[in-house]
Amino acid sequence: MKIWGMSYGLIGDLIMGLPMLTYFEKKYPGSYKYWVIEKKCSITAPIFLNHPLIDRIKITDEWSCIGEVDRNLRSDCDIRTTHGDWKHLSPTWYNDVSCVEETARIAGVDDITDVLTEDELKPSLCRWFDVGLPDSVSTYSRTHDSDLSEFDNNIALWPFATGEFSDKHSQLRSPSQNWWGMLIAKLADAGYSVYHYGRHSEPSLSESANYKRFTHLSFFQQVKAAMAAKLVMGPDTGSMWVMGAYSHPAINLITNHMPNHTSNLLALAPVNDNAVNLFGDGCRCDNINTDDVMQKVKEKI
């Protein structure tokens, strides 16, 4: 039994698709599973290397679709869960189901909540790498779990939900530059160091000596560095979904930014057993009180 899948799309979609590996293993024990990643998201491949249910990671031939080699491999599979024509079954699905359940439904799996336990429905990754910042001396960017003193009072930020920070939808989905500036000032005054991860095109958020940008690092280097922090913080980004899959202590900044999102308001929050979800009313993350964030930071660290 060969299975082609499991999820499709961007970083968060891949993480949301992880429970399908367990689903297919329970339905078809010992099946051979392809984990397909679009080339545009190939930067995520290292985090999946040691997953016990992934038999082969396949980066698609094309940037955002499959190519000839992919089609040949897929045609040899008994079950194919990714087709490149993803469509939500309901335009307001988030009022009724979780991201994990919707991702499975789009892939043609409509009974995932019947087959998996509550814990099995939570995306999960196993860390195989050391955490911390790259060694600037080493050609191979070594990291050292044993030398993490600079992270003793450190908070990692993935501040913006998309690369195009100025996009109108992103402005609703993510806290604004001014909001982050106010929070960082309070964090710095309280003695915390703040490390900014994300895309290099994102704006600088503070001139404080306690604030540093590491947006020049590769995605995998940023993941390793962020996991050395005592706490990570951000909106519902793919990066925060990755942190959730590692159960890293986190504060998720959530709002109902999707159209007509009136119930099941935490549907988009990254799944994380060690996270606190703070909700911004009125479809704006800026409506989250920074004093409330500070209180949660003190509770988590």
186-238, pLDDT tens digit by residue? 999 999 999 999 999 999 999 999 999 999 999 999 999 999 999 999 999 99
Q: What confidence score (pLDDT) does residue 171 get?
A: 72
Domain ranges of the chain: 2-115, 150-300
Q: pLDDT tens digits for 15-70?
A: 999 999 999 999 999 999 999 999 999 999 999 999 999 999 999 999 998 999 99
Q: pLDDT tens digits for 109-160?
A: 999 999 999 999 999 999 999 999 987 633 444 445 556 888 989 999 999 9
pLDDT beyond 70 at 90: yes
The residue type found at 241 is W
Q: Which structure tokens are listed for 216?
A: 């020049």
Q: What confidence score (pLDDT) does residue 86 get?
A: 59
* 3-class DSSP state of 167: coil
pLDDT band at 9 (very low <50, low <70, confident <90, very high): confident
Contact between 264 and 95 under an 8 Å Cβ cutoff? The reply is yes
Measured CA to CA, the distance from residue 257 to residue 236 in angstroms comes to 10
User: With left for phi above 0 and alpha for psi between -120 and 50, is residue 30 left, alpha or beta?
Assistant: left
Q: Which residues are 218's β-sheet partners?
A: none
Q: What confidence score (pLDDT) does residue 139 get?
A: 40
What proportion of the chain, given as a percentage, has pLDDT over 70?
91
Measured CA to CA, the distance from residue 41 to residue 21 in angstroms comes to 19
Residue among 220, 86, 105, 240 nearest 161 (CA) = 240
Measured CA to CA, the distance from residue 239 to residue 233 in angstroms comes to 10
pLDDT band at 177 (very low <50, low <70, confident <90, very high): very high
Q: What confidence score (pLDDT) does residue 147 get?
A: 66
Residue 178, CA distances (Å) to 111, 183, 237 in order:
44, 9, 19
Q: What confidence score (pLDDT) does residue 261 get?
A: 95
Contact between 284 and 255 under an 8 Å Cβ cutoff? The reply is yes
Q: What confidence score (pLDDT) does residue 85 get?
A: 54
Domain 150-300 homologous superfamily, CATH: Glycogen Phosphorylase B; (3.40.50.2000)
